[in-house]
Amino acid sequence: MGLSTFIGGVHPYEGKELSSDKPIQVIQPKGELVFPLSQHIGAPAKPLVAKGDTVLAGQKIAEAGGFISANVICSVSGTVKGIEPRLMANGSMVQSIIVENDGEYRTVEGFGQKRDYTALSKQEIRDIVKEAGIVGLGGAGFPTNVKLAPKNEEEIDYVIVNGAECEPYLTSDYRVMLEQPEKVVGGLKVILQLFDKAKGVIGIEENKPEAIRILSELVKDEPRIQVCTLKTKYPQGGERFLIYAVTGGREINSTMLPADAGCIVDNIDTVVSIYNAVCETTPLIRRIITVTGDAIREPRNFEVRLGTNYQELIEAAGGFKEEPEKVLSGGPMMGQALFSYDIPVMKTSSALTCLTKDQVAANAETACIRCGRCVDVCPGRVVPQMLMTAAEHHDLAAFEKLNGMECCECGSCTFICPAHRPLTQAFKEMRKAVMAERKKKA
């Protein structure tokens, strides 16, 4: 029987050997911490504190600003220095709460207490997840409490834990699976308590045999949980492609949610964060971050408090052994290039990838030779070459007609293109323009 997978995809250099054998190391922040009010999909959070206020670790300092929004929880104790715009990884300036860390890490009452999730109602579990400020930690940042409350709850028959970690260089989820497998399974059990008819599936790519072994052993006596071995291929961890692989062919498009296909999908660290919140009364105040790349002296995986400055992570990894030409927040396929390291770790931060060579800049763009490779690898089953023509003419109508909104911006077409055309970047801008036009009309 073949391994579960999807149609299309590419096989970029993995780069995971740089940090895959490095255990998670806890580091504490040194100076001020920055908590953006918008580090999730949806409305920005609303501040609950003001300049001069004393705050504690685990304290809610901003509340969800709407149905699709998320609370912001302070990760340290200290004093609020102010609320002001700060630079984010995507280049935008976002209103943020600035906290001066007092180094004492005093916590709110009840922080870290054990709790029996089986004694909680479904609504109590969802309320705890909401209060904890948990969002999807795989990149999108969708509020998890909303995801766990689909309108068709009784139709959910799969809860899928995304352990693929297909993005090159990243190994934080892999280390969590090795070091905290009980929390992965425990968090999945919490979610399964919300969906009576669902079975839990932990999807892991075959290039992580030790994680597959550990988790398979852990769930061998769990009738509702199994481990699914996936083919190693990018972007196997993409939500729609993971669903297709695990369920044997269920499909969703850009207008659908996973729940429309009877699925709930959560990233490994999201599931662990659910366990921490529900079973250990600990809200989302930390992230596991991979700091890696051939420019970093000591590639590592860190457990770091939210709000910590990226510069501190670089220093904790020994600094640069060679000045990098490109530094990315995230991995090389979907990460965002940085022009400053004065950026805070947010809920959606996953990695800092530091590369000695900027391979994209080194390859000059040439004319399309119509080889069709971009079509072969596109997991969204669109025709990138035709979409690029629409993008070059800024023809929004043609872009939509060619199903351009089904592009998941994975970068597979750009990676495989022998002409080095910036396909994904163009499609990303076009998708933004289409959504803006739709919003304007609405």
The region, left, alpha or beta by phi > 0 then psi within -120 to 50, assigned to residue 299 is: beta
In which residue are the tokens 């035709």 written? 386
Q: Is residue 228 annotated as involved in ligand binding?
A: no
Burial of 434 (0-12, 13-18, 19+ CB in 10 A): middle
Q: Is residue 354 annotated as involved in ligand binding?
A: no
Q: Is residue 413 annotated as involved in ligand binding?
A: yes
* Sheet (strand 60-63) strand order: 46-47, 60-63, 72-73
Cα three-residue angle 56-62-63, rounded to 5 degrees = 125
Q: Is residue 166 annotated as involved in ligand binding?
A: no
User: 3-class DSSP state for residue 125?
Assistant: helix
Encode burial over 391-424: b for 16+ CB neighbours within 10 A, e otherwise: beeeebebbbebbbbbbbbbbbbbbbbebebebb
Q: Is residue 407 annotated as involved in ligand binding?
A: yes
Residue 192 token pair = 């399964």
Give the CA distances from residue 96 to residues 100, 187, 287, in Å, rounded to whole numbers and listed in that order: 13, 30, 18
Cα three-residue angle 379-381-386, rounded to 5 degrees = 120
Q: Are 172 and 290 in contact (CB under 8 A)?
A: yes
CA–CA separation, 70 and 133 (whole Å): 5
Q: Is residue 263 annotated as involved in ligand binding?
A: no
C-beta atoms surrounding 149 within 10 Å: 16
Residue 178: in which H helix or E strand, if any? helix 172-179
Q: Is residue 374 annotated as involved in ligand binding?
A: yes
Beta partners for residue 226, in sequence order? 201
To 10 degrees, what angle do helices 172-179 and 268-280 make? 50
User: 3-class DSSP state for residue 128?
Assistant: helix
Q: Are 67 and 146 in contact (CB under 8 A)?
A: yes
Beta partners for residue 201, in sequence order? 160, 226
Residue 271: in which H helix or E strand, if any? helix 268-280
Binding site as annotated, residues for [4Fe-4S] cluster: 368, 371, 374, 378, 407, 410, 413, 417
Binding site as annotated, residues: 368, 371, 374, 378, 407, 410, 413, 417
